Amino acid sequence: MKKLVKNNVYWVGKIDWELRKFHGDELSTQRGSTYNSYLIQEEKTVLIDTVWLPFAKEFVENLKTEVDLNSIDYIIVNHGEVDHSGALVELMKQIPNTPIYCTANAVKSLKGQYHQDWNFHIVKTGDSLHIGNGKDLVFVEMAMIHWPDSMATYMTKDNILFSNDAFGQHFANERLFDDLTDQCTLNYEALKYYANIVTPFNAIVKRKLQEIGKLNLPIDIIAPSHGVIWRKNIGMILEKYTQWCDDYQEHQATIIYDTMWNGTKLLAERIAEGLSKADPTLEIKVFNRAHTDENDLIVEVFKSKLIVLGSPTVGNDMIHKMAGFIDLMRGLKFKNKKAAAFGCYGWSGEAVKMMNDALTSAGFEIVSEGLRNLWNPTPEIEEQAIEFGKQLSSTIK
């Protein structure tokens, strides 16, 4: 069933309550997601984006109950990724000649995925499409936020920015708008989405926000392709994006460890104690990597000035979950963050050096050689770990 967004604009997407992993198994989505498709019924009828492939048939059947498919004048594809374009094949079987407006890169991504030669119309930033009643759709290329093909579509008069992935959240919700939903959950999911998906493109986001700001467009609604629609706290989410894209930090240090027989865990707790003693204003969080969702951990890294990683040495290496987590961080290209490592060992003890090397290659500034401990920590070593925490605190004053 369609839901009213504003005037003649409707949501016709799909709520995916069950989704728990996205991008294969790469991203946790504990609160499900939505795939937002929008139907505009002005003098022209326009469909903006579709839904993920598994829901293609359902989407097209539902759409048929809302509109004669043959009356759709234009389809706008803001982004070719399958979670938004997946229902196109099913839809285009029924209306094969309907023009599709998208970027040149979206033609490549759509052809590459679906091997179809649809009626593509390539648009660039500033191009527009009249849809009647004095309203236009204006296109804004958003290359690398987060695919080369990404773009946003702005609807004049109604002042709606269809932003696609930007400003989205993986947050299944029947309540369509930001002001109707739980604010803490919404803000967390918007942050988790940014930290895990958008972080590598911070510099591009910064330039794009400035570019959009200079256009002085009145924006009454930001309608992303995932999660709820922003209509009340537009200034807040724009300000958040401005902060997040600027190598965001809070006064936080995060300790993430894995442990086999609790020696490295004990060091983690003592290091936290040292950090806290040296700076009671510092937010300190401690997580066992093996017991914590890695995408939630990325949110904590995103907010931190300093991360401290712990792993015992096993098989001349660090524990593989820690190696995988450092690799995940490397892909996100964090900047301006400090790091240190620690861990227990029984004989060879390479893990700390290996973590230092891996963190360096992931773009972190190593602020200490690290803390290594042979066998289980003695009370003296526990004191050393407290001192180690104090020293680390001094690097983020």
Residues making contact with ligand FEO (CB under 6 A) = 79, 81, 83-84, 146-147, 165, 225-226
φ and ψ at residue 221, rounded to 5 degrees: -145, 135
Work out how close the CB of 186 gets to ligand FEO at its nearest, in angstroms, rounded to a whole number: 17
**22/345 with CB nearer ligand FEO:** 22
Check if 101 is active-site. Answer: no
Q: Where on the phi/psi map is residue 227: left (φ > 0), alpha (ψ -120 to 50), or beta?
A: left
Nearer to ligand FEO, 45 or 199 (CB): 199
Catalytic residue among 16, 42, 81, 189: 81
Tell me whether residue 83 or residue 178 sits nearer to ligand FEO (CB atom): 83
**CA dihedral sign, ordered 310, 316, 321, 323:** positive
Contact 271, 386 (CB under 8 A): yes
CB of 144 to ligand FEO, least distance (A): 11
Exactly one of 42, 146, 158, 241 is catalytic; name it: 146
Cα 111–Cα 62–Cα 146 angle in degrees, nearest 5 = 40
Mark whether 74 is an active-site residue. no
Q: How far is the CB of 367 from ligand FEO (least distance, A)?
A: 35
Q: What is the DSSP letter of 32?
A: -
For residue 384, count other CB atoms closer than 10 A to its CB.
18
8 Å CB contact between 156 and 142: no
Nearer to ligand FEO, 194 or 257 (CB): 194
Q: Which of 38, 79, 90, 345 is catalytic?
A: 79
CB of 135 to ligand FEO, least distance (A): 26
Pick the catalytic residue from 42, 83, 178, 279.
83
Would you call 81 a catalytic residue per the annotation? yes
For ligand FEO, the nearest residue by Cβ is: 81
23 is catalytic: yes
Our answer to whether residue 73 is catalytic in this structure is no
d(CA 391, CA 164): 44
320 catalytic per annotation: no
Report, in Å, the least distance between residue 165 CB and ligand FEO.
Answer: 4
Asked if 311 and 319 count as a contact pair (C-beta separation under 8 A), the reply is: yes
Tell the smallest beta-carbon distance from residue 147 to ligand FEO (Å).
Answer: 6
Residue from 23, 182, 239, 383 carrying the catalytic annotation: 23
CB atoms within 10 A of CB 263: 21
Catalytic residue among 35, 193, 257, 345: 193
d(Cα 145, Cα 200) in Å, to the nearest integer?
Answer: 9
User: Would you call 226 a catalytic residue per the annotation?
Assistant: yes
Q: Closer to ligand FEO at the Cβ: 49 or 300?
A: 49
Q: What Cα–Cα distance (Å) separates residue 85 from each residue in 146, 157, 246, 315?
A: 15, 27, 31, 45
Question: CB-wise, 145 or 282, nearer to ligand FEO?
Answer: 145
Is 115 annotated in the active site? no
* Region for 353 from its dihedrals, namely left if φ exceeds 0, alpha if ψ lies in -120 to 50, beta otherwise: alpha
| Residues identified as active-site | 23, 79, 81, 83, 146, 165, 193, 226
